[in-house]
A and B are shown apart, each in its own frame.
Chain A
Amino acid sequence: MAFFARASPSQAIRRLKDQSQFLNRLLCSCGWQNRSIATAVDDAKASVHSSVESGGKKRINLCSAINDALYIALDSDPRSYVFGEDVGFGGVFRCTTGLADTFGKHRVFNTPLCEQGIVGFGIGLAAMGNRAVAEIQFADYIFPAFDQIVNEAAKFRYRSGNLFNCGGLTIRTPYGAVGHGALYHSQSPEAYFCHVPGLKVVIPRSPTQAKGLLLAAIRDPNPVIFFEPKWLYRLSVEDVPEGDYTLPLSQAEVIREGGDITLVGWGAQLAIMEEACVEASKEGISCELIDLRTLLPWDKEIVEASVNKTGRLLVSHEAPITGGFGAEIAASITERCFLRLESPVARVCGLDTPFPLVFEPFYMPTKNKILDAIKASVNF
């Protein structure tokens, strides 16, 4: 009889699946052609630091790599939990598919639609010695949880003199442009969180990176915000080690060596920057491309070393230019490499407008803008 009282679970799941398919269609439909679709930077030479249990690799996309990492996290630590809005059925982006079936609905579960509740709950769970992996469905919706992240999670250890910590907390959230996400499905809010001592901010560029960095984030004894480039969930595909491995936090990586100019970026933007590097090389400009990977605390040394070599720096991110994390990099590197710099630090970023729908191609730090900036810098 209860069947008639409300929709059955199977109906609910069917509805949610429809919703998810809609979202996937949303992601994979129009608008993409405006940005050339390369997979993320070729990650063949990604350094896999810790031991890989099974030597095999599997060709998967970034979404599956996240799923893989979550599976390993849940499997390797019985005190780990994965939760958030719609997480139970697999998440609107399908990153948590199958996890509730395998690990039970007490360890992988839906939460009410309330970001401050999700993060606050996660802090309490983590403070009891658990690994709490919270999902905020879109980075655009993380702001109700801002107080919990900034005033609570980030300060939990410091304010207690290390009596307590919520280091087991990891907040996963998809960020960035998708071609048609407009104001509220496109934002890159990483800079807000890079202003908060006590947090770590990590953004992967590819499936291999995503899996290794997410596992590192989950196991790191500090609260981590893990921004996932949703543009790459389906698009970025590569051979990913099948076993359990982590990649180091707070270590940037040179993913393309060059001698004329250093380019620094993170996440989905690296693919665009890589294309600009390829174009520039046709014109005889040799670019060095660095994936910052962890934005807080960030690896200044590797950028400093590179700029000391090239004498030029370009930073690029999707977030608005003013107060963006590029400003921090520009200022820090100017301090450290002032006499070595041969041109002003260039920033190719989002505009200081809300993220616009039809104007997205104008707003974005596209390949042509980066290429122009590279040339301007080299010819300064």
Chain B
Amino acid sequence: MALIRRAGRSLSMLKRSSLFHGKQKKQRQQPIVSPSLPNLTPHLPSSLIRLQINTTYSAIPRGISSCSFRSSYIPNRLLTSEAQPKLPDEGIDDTQFLDFPGVKNTAFTCDLKFVSEKSEEVPCYRVLSELGEPVDGAKLPQMADALALRIYENMITLQVMDYLFYEAQRQGRFSFYMTCSGEEAAIVASAAALSNEDVIFAQYREQGALMWRGFDLQEFAHQCYSNSADYGKGRQMPIHYGSKKHNFVTISSPIATQLSHAVGAAYSLKMDRKDACAVTYFGDGATSEGDFHAAMNFAAVMEAPVLFICRNNGWAISTPITDQYRSDGVATKSRAYGMRSICVDGNDALAVYSAVKSARSMAISESRPILIEVLTYRVSHHSTSDDSTKYRSGEELSHWKVMRDPVVRFRRWLEGNGWWNRQKDTELQSHSRKKIIAAMMNAESMKKPPLSDLFTDVYDSIPTNLKEQESYVREAVAKNPNLYPSDVPL
């Protein structure tokens, strides 16, 4: 009976203790499966190991199941150094405190039960209805008209730039382009919620984030025309932007490789005690890459202030999410990494802004990574090399294009506030169009980067083998100048 009393007292003590993790919620009475108490693990102090308990089902206080008993009973039992007389090996086998090093907060169970494949439901956060009206009960973020208008103007400029650059590519003026139709709110509103000190590691469809930071239309045009003013010196395909002064790290084509870079950068920001985080954008397809797993796990373990912003637009080129993953979306994956996440309606600019702003604040102040799944839809083709009518229906496309346009939704909200009207819209479109065409004409008139740029920046200085190869190439060009592009200065 002394044992019973001790056990009961221990439990009530532990219930008040913060060390008690509340794992006892599934309290049920059931038969004991095995009569013997297993040996405690050898690394426990010998004085504790000597202690043996013989307790039976009836000895357990009412309401405490054998299965849940471990977390309350055993640790306290172990606190005593008083050895008990060895009793017959009868009792329960599931009262042992779970001390496998692989887990922290879990309990033994004698239920043979598998974890369900179904994700716990992650609701999708939104504050504006499709009509651009506040959803009932929604707490709208504080957003001054100047900021709201700037976001809207950015989205319109982005649309016009995408349209004109896409057409330019179709006319053969440059080799490749990708638009972000349908995802304007997801990209621009998320960028608007960041500080310019936050370092962005983008995928390739986030030109809106760079535009938000002030990369101007001329700079975009120079890059797409691969001319001598392209910061990348004409080496990469169009849309592979980068800007040091805008903390936007140059894009590379491989999918998801930038995610772990963001973690490393975030760790650096944390060590330097900067009031900034790293931000990485990627699509739903990227979540299947090993680098996604690597980065998520590293970020959680390193407690790195990084925002993982997944534009889940439903398509990875032609692959729908049904062929991509079996989880219910992406946000749910964060739990397994021990990371917070939120799922947001990516076509609701206000919700995106609000979610990213809160996430950023948590990431920095608590030094933790956050996964933000932004649900949206890729209205555009994957790129100029893709024809999406081959794999998705016109009805589906027109539904998203016409009925679910994120820019229209945001405009309706602006109009509802009396901040915007149709005339202003027409003027903005026309103004953007003129500026972009001027930028394109200027970019087109510029020379290509010089041949010497072929050999620089492989290393910080040019090694001997590259010097030799430069001479070799120059000789080859000198012999057959007509075989080489005439617009590349020698």
Interface residues of A (CB under 8 A from B): 1-2, 4-7, 11-12, 106, 111-112, 114, 116-117, 119-130, 132, 144, 147-148, 151-152, 155-165, 167, 197-198, 200, 221-222, 250, 297, 300-301
- State in angstroms the CA–CA spacing of A340 and B10 once bound together: 89
A300 to B278, CA, bound (A): 42
B86 within 8 A of A: no
- Segment touching A, from B87-95, B117-125, B138-146, B455-463: B455-463
Chain B contacts for A160, CB-based, 8 A:
231-232, 242, 249-250
Centre residue among B252, B265, B459 by max chain A CB count within 10 A: B459
Please tell me the size bucket of the interface on B.
35 or more
Q: Is the CB of A6 within 8 A of B264?
A: no
How many angstroms between the C-alpha atoms of A6 and B458 in the bound complex? Answer: 48
Question: A5: which B residues are within 8 A, CB to CB?
Answer: 97-99, 104
Which residues of chain A have C-beta atoms less than 8 A from B464's C-beta?
Answer: 250, 297, 300-301
**Is there contact, CB below 8 Å, between B19 and A2?**
yes
- What's the nearest-Cβ distance from chain A to residue B199, in Å? 7
Cα(A128)–Cα(B265), bound, Å = 6
In the assembled complex, B356 has its CB within 8 A of some CB on chain A:
no
Q: Is the CB of B252 within 8 A of A128?
A: no
Q: In the complex the two chains form, what is the Cα distance from A160 to B240 in whole Å? A: 9
Residues of chain A with a CB closer than 8 A to B298's CB: 111-112, 114, 117, 120-121
Query: Shortest Cβ distance from A81 into chain B, in angstroms?
Result: 8
A6-B101, A164-B242 given; A128·B199 CB < 8 A: yes
Given the complex, which residues of B lie within 8 Å of A7, measured CB to CB? 43, 99, 101
Residues of B close to A2: CB separation below 8 A:
19
Report Cα–Cα, A7/B291, bound state, in Å.
30
Q: In the assembled complex, how far is the CB of residue A159 from the closest CB belonging to chain B, in whole angstroms?
A: 5
Among the listed B75, B104, B290, B301, which residue makes an inter-chain contact with A144, where contact means beta carbons less than 8 Å apart?
A: B290
Q: List 16 A-B contacts (CB under 8 A).
A: A117-B263, A120-B260, A120-B264, A120-B291, A120-B298, A124-B264, A132-B264, A148-B257, A148-B260, A152-B254, A152-B261, A160-B249, A161-B231, A161-B235, A161-B453, A200-B459
Pairwise interchain contact B250-A126, C-beta atoms closer than 8 A: no
Q: Is the CB of A128 within 8 A of B268?
A: yes
Q: Which of B103, B260, B268, B458 has the most CB of A within 10 A?
A: B260
B22 to chain A, nearest CB (A): 14
* Cβ-closest 8 pairs across A and B: A124-B264, A120-B260, A117-B294, A124-B261, A160-B250, A128-B268, A125-B264, A297-B463
**Contact pattern, B 322-352, Cβ under 8 Å of A = 1, otherwise 0:** 0000000000000000000000000000000
Question: A116–B101 contact, CB under 8 A?
Answer: no
Contacts known (A6-B104, A151-B257); A159 close to B232, Cβ less than 8 A: yes
B75 and A4 form a contact (CB under 8 A) = yes
Chain A: minimal CB distance from B94 (Å): 16
Is A114 touching B297 in the complex (CB atoms < 8 A)? Answer: yes
With the chains together, A29 CA to B353 CA distance in Å?
A: 62
Say whether A123 contacts B261, CB under 8 Å: yes
- A residues within 8 A CB of B278? 124
In the complex, the number of residue pairs spanning A and B with C-beta atoms less than 8 Å apart equals: 171
B135 CB–A CB distance under 8 Å? no
* Given A5-B104, A123-B261, 12 extra CB contacts under 8 A: A5-B97, A114-B298, A117-B291, A125-B264, A127-B264, A132-B264, A151-B252, A152-B254, A152-B257, A161-B233, A167-B460, A198-B458
CA distance A122 to B201 in the complex (A): 14
Name the B residues within 8 Å of A4 (CB-CB): 44, 74-75, 78, 97, 99
- Complex partner residue of B230 from A148, A161, A297, CB under 8 angstroms: A161
Residues in B with CB closer than 8 Å to A144 are 290
Q: Distance in Å from the Cβ of A161 to the closest Cβ of chain B?
A: 4
* CA gap between A132 and B199 in the complex, in Å: 18
| Shortest Cβ distance from residue B46 to the other chain A in the assembled complex, whole angstroms | 15
| Interface membership of B390, Cβ < 8 A | no
Q: How far is the CB of A198 from chain B (nearest CB, A)?
A: 5
List residues of chain A with CB within 8 A of the CB of B372: none
CB distance from B263 to the nearest CB of A (A): 5
Would B297 and A11 count as touching, CB distance under 8 A? no
Give B8-37 as 1s and 0s: 1 = Cβ < 8 Å from A's Cβ atoms: 000000000001000000000000000000
The answer to whether B43 and A11 touch across the interface, beta carbons within 8 angstroms, is: yes
In the bound complex, CA of A222 to CA of B260 (Å):
19
Q: Are A130 and B43 CB-contacts (below 8 A) given A120-B261, A162-B457?
A: no
Contact of A122 with B264 in the complex, beta carbons under 8 Å: yes
Which residues from chain B contact A120 at a C-beta distance below 8 Å? 257, 259-261, 263-264, 291, 294-295, 298
In this assembly, does B262 line the interface, its C-beta being within 8 Å of a C-beta of chain A? yes
Compute how far the CA of A7 lies from the CA of B104 in the bound complex, rounded to whole angstroms.
Answer: 10
The 0/1 profile, CB within 8 Å of A marked 1, for residues 458-490 of chain B is: 111001111000000000000000000000000
Neighbouring A residues of B19 by C-beta, 8 Å: 1-2
Minimum CB distance partner of B100 in chain A: A6
Given that A5-B97, A120-B264 are known contacts, is A158 also in contact with B458, CB under 8 Å in the complex? yes
Q: A106 contacts which chain B residues (CB < 8 A)? A: 271
Decide: B268 and A121 in contact? CB cutoff 8 A.
Answer: no
Assembly CA distance A357 to B457 (angstroms): 43
Specify which chain A residues have a CB less than 8 angstroms from the CB of B460 in the assembled complex. 157, 165, 167, 221-222
CB closest residue in chain B, given A298: B465
Q: Which residues of A contact B249 (CB under 8 A)?
A: 127, 160, 164
Taking the complex as formed, is B236 at the interface, i.e. its CB lies under 8 A from any CB of chain A?
A: yes
* B254 proximity list for chain A (CB < 8 A): 147, 151-152
Residues of A with C-beta under 8 A to B100 = 6
